[in-house]
């Protein structure tokens, strides 16, 4: 919210910032082994796999519902491409495990602006490419109770 003396008008706030929980991200050292575990032990279905050079990860989306429909929720498995990637650093610091909670949004730039206006820091000045050409940004964990919150605007042809 603007502070007293601010000349900028508050942004037009939507009724809800988030559409739904998009996925939970889990950092893993070996993507193939994690896909096997989540498929065999938990009955999840692999719905998408890709390498994202910009983010430094190899990733897989696993459908929680056991079918190929990711709208029922997903677990995103994230393995590092190199030692400098964010996921490699997370694994070194914390070991494998829950790394992020992602919320689906309709307009990542608008939601980012609203969150900044509310005093939260975002990791990127502008959205970056995420899974399946989505647009993403992240709320700094220190501003979100220790949780890395991802904002996901799906590509126009997704969901």
Note whether residue 11 is domain-resident: no
pLDDT tens digits along 56-89: 999 999 998 766 655 668 999 999 999 999 999 9
Whole-number Å distance between alpha carbons of 86 and 140: 13
Which of 20, 95, 25 has its CA nearest to residue 60? 25
Domain containing residue 144? 20-153
Write down the pTM of the prediction: 0.82
Cβ proximity of 81 and 30 under 8 Å: no
Note whether residue 14 is domain-resident: no
Q: How many domains does the chain contain in total? A: 1
Note whether residue 38 is domain-resident: yes
Note whether residue 40 is domain-resident: yes
């Amino acid at each position: 919210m603007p502070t007293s003396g601010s000349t900028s008008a508050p942004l037009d706030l939507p009724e809800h910032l988030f559409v739904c929980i998009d996925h939970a991200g889990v950092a893993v050292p070996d993507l193939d082994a994690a896909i096997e575990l989540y498929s065999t032990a938990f009955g999840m279905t692999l719905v998408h796999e890709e390498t994202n050079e910009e983010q430094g990860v190899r990733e897989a989306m696993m459908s929680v519902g056991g079918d190929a429909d990711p709208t029922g929720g997903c677990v995103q498995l994230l393995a590092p491409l190199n030692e400098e990637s964010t996921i490699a650093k997370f694994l070194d610091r914390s070991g494998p495990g829950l790394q992020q909670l992602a919320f689906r949004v309709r307009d990542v730039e608008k939601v980012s602006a609203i969150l900044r206006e509310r005093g939260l820091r975002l990791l990127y000045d502008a959205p970056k490419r995420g899974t399946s050409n989505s647009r993403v940004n992240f709320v700094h964990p220190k501003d979100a109770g220790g949780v890395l919150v991802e904002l996901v605007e799906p590509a126009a042809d997704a969901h």
